[in-house]
Amino acid sequence: MSNHCASSVTCKCLLLSTLYVYLSSPDMCGGVLTGLSGVISSPGYPQEYSNNADCSWAIHVSNTSVVTLAFLDFQLENNEGCNFDFVALFDGPTVTHRHLGKYCGADKPPNIVTTSNQLLVVFKSDFNIGGRGFKCYRSAEQYKNCQQVLSAVSGNFSSPHFPSVYPNNINCHWSITLAAGYRIKLFFPVMDMEDRNSLSDECDYDSVAVYDGDSQTDTLLGRWCGREHPPSLISKANKLLVVLSTDRNEAHRGFSASYLGGKCSVCGHPIQFQNKRKSHLQSTGMLNLLIL
């Protein structure tokens, strides 16, 4: 020890200084990120990144949130297939999770929203030709539209992030409540969920359920999954509850739904549903769905 340091204090200072330089080096990259938001950039950004970089950022947010990622700047070596320098994104904590995309060149990747509370960002460069690199902003997003009360006489709603894939591990409720004397007609133009359990033939994984009332203790009108097409549903009274439940694995586009309120003053007479949206429904080829 005496051959290298004048004292133990000097040695400790040298070691700490060396460690600081190492950790603050622009070539250092990657890590586990748990804050609500922050910036990720390539080593040395906005200067040219180093060759042979291999960086991984594992982003973790709360269980009730998803991760959003927006690229502010992007310039990497370009080639078809992005096999030399690239940024790869995965919908989970490891490269075995769903691949969200692989990007290179100068075109900024699209904004990314995960289906769970984790995202893996991987940056790799080869032995030559570089670029300015990239800078992106990450944030945690709460499920803002997952619990809704709908009171308008007609309306539309859909699974979170539709037509992109819905998040995992969510339980969303849409409670349609109209004035007394109204009944509700509900239909699903699009349904794209995880398929039924092949063993039980039930919607055990991801599903949409509809209840004839305002709680899950009311009559279940049906439960659907996969690419099934639910029939048009009509409530017995002025309330319907739609529940979306997803598990921790596979995710799809989800669903879109529309509803109309109708009122009849004499029991047994045909229900007169509101037709203010007739022209829109004609243009989308869906008017026939409203005919009782």
What is the pLDDT at residue 274? 55
Fold of 22-142: Jelly Rolls (2.60.120)
- Tens of pLDDT, residues 8-54: 444 444 333 333 333 333 346 899 999 999 999 999 999 999 999 99
pLDDT mean across residues, the chain:
83
Enumerate the domain spans of the chain.
22-142, 147-264
Strands (E) across the chain are located at 31-33, 37-41, 54-60, 65-75, 86-90, 99-103, 112-113, 118-124, 133-142, 147-150, 154-158, 171-177, 182-192, 207-211, 220-224, 233-234, 239-245, 254-263, 272-273
What is the pLDDT at residue 168? 83
| Average pLDDT score over residue span 211-234 | 95
Amino acid at 27: D
Sorting pLDDT into bands at 50, 70 and 90, what band is 171? Answer: confident
What is the pLDDT at residue 256? 97
Fold of 147-264: Jelly Rolls (2.60.120)
Sign of the Cα torsion 233, 236, 238, 239 reads negative
| Average pLDDT score over residue span 102-107 | 95
Cβ–Cβ < 8 Å for 185, 262? yes
Same fold, 22-142 and 147-264: yes
Residue 115 vs residue 134, higher pLDDT: 134
| Average pLDDT score over residue span 236-240 | 96
Sorting pLDDT into bands at 50, 70 and 90, what band is 101? Answer: very high
Cβ–Cβ < 8 Å for 241, 216? yes
- Tens of pLDDT, residues 121-148: 999 999 988 899 999 999 998 766 688 9
